Amino acid sequence: MDSILNNSAALSALQALQMTQQSLATVQNQVSTGLSVATAADNSSYWSIATQLNVDSGIVTASNSALSEGQSVLSTATSAINSVITTLNSMATALTQAQNPGAQIGDINTSIASLGRQLTDAVNGASFNGLNVLNGSQNTLNFVAGYNASATGGSVNVISFAAQALTGAAATTPSTTTTQSTITDPTTITNLATLYAAGNSTNTTLSYGNDVITVAASGPAALTVQSEDLYGNTTSTTYTALDANGNNSATDTSLTFATASSLAVSSTTTTSATSNLLTQGGIDLTGGTGATSTFQIGTTITAANALTAVNQALAAVTNYSAQIGATQDRMTAANTFNTALNTNYSNGVSGLVDADMNQASTRLQALQTQEQLGIQSLSVANQNAQLILKLFGL
């Protein structure tokens, strides 16, 4: 039935046209922005996840920038240390020559004084953006290395680096710390029993990395191990055998180290009073801060003592350089990981919110065709109402 009050065909055609135009507007926006989820209204879940991933990506990018700065700080220090090592080698050569009969001590003193100034120059020049990890101005540095994202906001990863002074640090006061613990691991007990057997007959000196270790039996069923590192720091650890009831040899007289069920451990670490790595055996290889070098061989400091100090400094500086290199390796690994992580973030965001442009362009053409047909359909529906007028001869 046709009605002059309600044109259902036109209304239906208009509704279809409006829906087509809404879909067309959406696809046109996707084509122009490249995004299928541009706002939270498009897909609140995907938009929220993508926004958080973008934030995390920005933090990781900032972490890599911070890592780059940290690497530059340590690279600058490495260059200076290489210069220091070269200078120390020259000192060692001069001091070896000084021990030869007829050596010109005055000339050698002039040479080592100049070399001492070179050491100071190298250390003072090892500054990047105000940071110098060689002159005693820094302690522990925490370089930003990455980001641990979590539902509660995440946390920043850091790479800690303990700076050591080649020059400039004030002498420290010796400090002592003591810790107590218990060992129950059978393999460890067996290995220590072997050391006890060796130390029970005579003190045993071992080399372990940069440590010198002295092992000695220190009474019935007790073992003391003392180690000293390059910097004069000592750690003395006493292992006391315990039986199954926790008694030591004072209570259980039949107890031996080899039959121990566990070991009571008391460890004492003493930090030596050293000023810096270029001061060894009381000899400041830089020559001091005054106008006249205090590093001179003669009656007070012999060439042999000076050479020992130089070799000790070489060992300490080389060890410190290795620590810097290991930290740089960690930074490089962190940088590589962060770069890969950012790629994953980018791919994840793309998968969530990017529009499929092939699909969008095809859809756009289809909707444009539907729009044209919808306009024609609406026009036909409106023309049907005009036929009623003809029935009245109008």
The DSSP secondary structure of 282-340, one letter per residue, reads TEETT--SSSS-S---SSSS-HHHHHHHHHHHHHHHHHHHHHHHHHHHHHHHHHHHHHH
The DSSP H or E segment spanning 204 is strand 204-208
pLDDT for residue 55: 84
Contact 156, 203 (CB under 8 A): no
pLDDT top residue among 209 and 383: 383
**Of the given ranges (29-33, 60-64, 192-196), which has the lowest mean pLDDT?**
29-33
pLDDT band at 200 (very low <50, low <70, confident <90, very high): low
Q: How far is CA 79 from CA 9, 164, 311, 316, in A?
A: 85, 16, 20, 16
pLDDT tens-digit map of 266-310: 998 887 666 689 988 888 899 887 777 888 998 788 999 999 999
Give residue limits of the domains in the chain: 49-169+278-346, 175-271
Which of 1.20.1330.10, 3.30.540.10, 3.40.50.300, 3.20.20.80 would CATH assign to domain 49-169+278-346? 1.20.1330.10
pLDDT (average), residues 16-43: 75
pLDDT for residue 205: 67
Q: Which of 234, 227, 241 is nearest to 197 (CA)?
A: 241
Is the pLDDT at 384 greater than 70? The verdict is no
Contact 210, 296 (CB under 8 A): no
Q: Which of 323, 278, 313, 336 is nearest to 140 (CA)?
A: 323
Structure token digits, residue 381:
């529906």
pLDDT for residue 98: 93
pLDDT for residue 77: 96
pLDDT tens-digit map of 79-127: 999 999 999 999 999 999 999 998 899 999 999 999 999 999 999 999 9
pLDDT for residue 22: 78
pLDDT for residue 91: 95
Is 0.85 topped by the overall pTM? no
Is the pLDDT at 20 greater than 70? The verdict is yes
Structure token digits, residue 224:
């003391």
pLDDT for residue 269: 86
